[in-house]
Structure 1
């Protein structure tokens, strides 16, 4: 469909989930940002991460609200597509994001906390503290390479159905948990039309059985 002339998809009634009329171009001048101290590149991730067969590896990013004044964190597990949305009532400084992530992952099963891949945003400057508190290995995607966190980008698009761009992002965890529960209860074709919640439950049950 991307090979069609501009405007032709709309004529044929084809619409992207994002609402755009054409794909956003990836080619642009890359402006280097401030380097995060001690960051580990996505190139250093274990091979098991790429295959998506071993659960416990996550991708994350921020969902930014109106005028950049509000935000929430978004985490998605690569194997099950299980999603967690993190309230940021204290803003999106590195301390606030790190503390919110630590609180959130404490609710998740320890066996499924192996690594997290994030972009090179300054909100993850305190990634070392996150690793110390949670034992999650933190890896960083290359600059301007959202496809390296493709599952996270796809999930962010689904979250935007509930929190469109240009709206205020709530900092009430109850609201964000309701959105995450809705996404985790949605059957996915990539999961054989099971829901992320069902797949995560199966993975947890299999892990418990294997350790008995």
Structure 2
């Protein structure tokens, strides 16, 4: 992932983010933490989680027991959905144009 692709990341207080300093230092990214019990501070994440539930991913699961093909299929589906916030481009289109130096999001 190119440096400066993300300017900041907002985590919840889960133990899976205990390595946040390394992520921040390695990638020069500002890290923020949502207040406990306030999913509205991470609205996009909560919306995305809801979409993943519709694709059949349960709220609590063991990722090492999920078929890689299924995960790839879900990721591909999500990355090919045009988003209003991206001027109706897909996340994949925006990512590739950024990586290729043609990033323009008006």
The TM-score, its normalising length taken from structure 2, stands at 0.71
> 8 Å contact 1:170–1:176 — kept in the other structure?
no
Q: Which has the higher contact order (CA 8 A, sep 6+)?
A: 1
- Over 3 Å counting, the alpha-carbon distance change for 1:123 and 1:206 in structure 2 is same
Q: Which has the larger radius of gyration?
A: 1
- Over 3 Å counting, the alpha-carbon distance change for 1:109 and 1:173 in structure 2 is farther
Alignment partner, residue 73 of structure 2: 178
Secondary structure of 2:77 counterpart? helix
Secondary structure of 1:186 counterpart? coil
Equivalent of 1:195 in 83, 86, 90:
90
> 8 Å contact 1:118–1:139 — kept in the other structure?
yes
Shift of 1:169: 4.5
Shift of 1:141: 0.9
Shift of 1:176: 2.3
In structure 2, how many angstroms separate the alpha carbons of the residues matched to 1:186 and 1:203? Answer: 17
> Considering only aligned residues, what root-mean-square deviation do their CA atoms show, in Å?
2.7
Structure 1 residue 134 corresponds to structure 2 residue 30: no
Q: Please identify which structure carries the higher helix content.
A: 2
The TM-score, its normalising length taken from structure 1, stands at 0.40
Secondary structure of 1:138 counterpart? strand
* Unmatched 5+ stretches in structure 1: 1-107, 208-212
- Over 3 Å counting, the alpha-carbon distance change for 1:167 and 1:144 in structure 2 is closer
Equivalent of 1:206 in 96, 102, 105:
102
> 8 Å contact 2:3–2:28 — kept in the other structure?
no
Shift of 1:198: 1.6
Superimposed CA distance per residue, residues 133-173 of structure 1 (whole angstroms, 9 cap, x where no aligned partner): 33332210111111111111111111112234367453355
Q: Please identify which structure carries the higher strand content.
A: 1
Runs of 4+ with deviation above 4 angstroms = none
Number of paired residues? 101
Structure 1 residue 113 corresponds to structure 2 residue 6: yes
